[in-house]
Amino acid sequence: MKVPFRRDRGTRPEPAPDAVPDHAIRLGAATDVPEGVVRRVSDRPPIAVTRHGTTIHAFEDRCPHGGALLSRGTLAVDTVTCPAHRTRFRVDTGQSSGQFTCRALRTYPVLIVDTVAYVDPTPRAPRTAKRAQCP
């Protein structure tokens, strides 16, 4: 049996910008996410969130150097400091700075729909290496 030709095969409609993925992690009301505090919201993958003004940032909750929990570190404005070796990571980009410069943290998109915040556990950029290249 011959299958009729379809021009639209392989194309998918773009999801609505406010569509919440089925696998998203619900954080609750966006205003309930504490400002100036790092809070772990997922174990698999390890994700931590913080709020800075009206923006919620979600990032990997493991230091790429030694695996320490960044949710136990300290937060200063837009950087979180690793409790183990004091490397600082920007919460918006994941880039490291400080004495050791490590591989960047994974960051995750945060969606706010009807004042409820969700984290999409699919990272923004794929990891290029499994091991951190720290000195």
User: Would you kindly state where each structural domain of the chain is located, as residue ranges?
Assistant: 34-119
pLDDT band at 86 (very low <50, low <70, confident <90, very high): confident
- 3-class SS of residue 30: helix
Helix (H) or strand (E) holding 49: strand 46-52
Residue 74 — very low, low, confident or very high, per pLDDT cuts 50/70/90?
A: very high
Collapsing DSSP to helix, strand or coil, 72 comes out as: helix
CATH 1.10.287.110 fits 34-119, yes or no: no
Question: Can you read off the two tokens belonging to residue 60?
Answer: 């990997």
Residue type, 34: P
* Tens of pLDDT, residues 98-131: 776 778 889 999 999 888 999 998 888 766 555 5
Average pLDDT taken over every residue of the chain? 80
Q: What is the structure's pLDDT at 134?
A: 56
Per-residue pLDDT tens over the stretch 20-30 = 777 888 998 98
pTM above 0.95, yes or no: no
93 conformational bin, left if phi > 0, alpha if psi -120 to 50, beta if neither = alpha
The pLDDT of residue 77 is above 90: no
- HSE at residue 131, side-chain half, CA atoms within 13 A, is 3
Query: Alpha-carbon torsion 88, 90, 94, 96, what sign?
Result: negative
